[in-house]
Amino acid sequence: MSKKYIGFIIILTCSFFLFPTNIYSSSTEEDHKLQEKCGKRCEEIYNKKYKGGKTQTSKGVSIYYDYENHYNKKLNKCFMLIDERSVMGSMIKLMDVNENKLYGSCRVGKNENLESCHFLRKSCKTYEEWVLRVKPYMEE
């Protein structure tokens, strides 16, 4: 390696320390705003579509809802994980809020038997497999 090349590397490296930039502050601030916007959008949907957490079927069965939201920076998407429970069993589903797109759902019957489970048009054999597929969407 030539001395010129080594000198260039040293100067370039030192310039990062001598002349700090704010390249991350604006993106962090923007990410925070997008996460906040995602949270507000999910809350609106939850209150409107899921009646703030409880509905009843025409047969009088109570259904309870809970949700978790996450803005995925890598995919630039707002996700909502919806948990629905009743005496008949439970269902959890992941949706892209802005595109109103269902990514997948998993239904477990009242006897803890897996009734249906899919994610991105692929079947899951277990609830745990479904959770593993969802995890990257709700963490990044």
Say what the pLDDT of residue 115 is: 94
pLDDT at 16: 38
3-class secondary-structure state, position 87 = coil
CA 34 to CA 99: how far, in whole Å? Answer: 15
pLDDT number for residue 140: 81
Tens digit of pLDDT at every position of the chain (140 positions): 544 444 444 443 443 344 444 333 447 899 899 999 999 999 999 999 988 899 988 999 999 999 999 999 999 999 999 999 999 999 999 999 999 999 999 999 988 899 999 999 999 999 999 999 999 999 98
| pLDDT for residue 9 | 44
Between CA 114 and CA 93 the distance in angstroms is: 14
How confident is the model at residue 28, as a pLDDT? Answer: 86
DSSP 8-state assignment for residue 125: S
**What is the pLDDT at residue 31?**
87
**Contact criterion met (CB below 8 Å) for 117 and 107:** yes
Burial class of residue 129, CB neighbours in 10 A (0-12, 13-18, 19+) = middle
CA 124 to chain centre: 19
Output the pLDDT for position 17: 40
Question: What is the per-residue pLDDT for 135?
Answer: 96
pLDDT at 111: 86
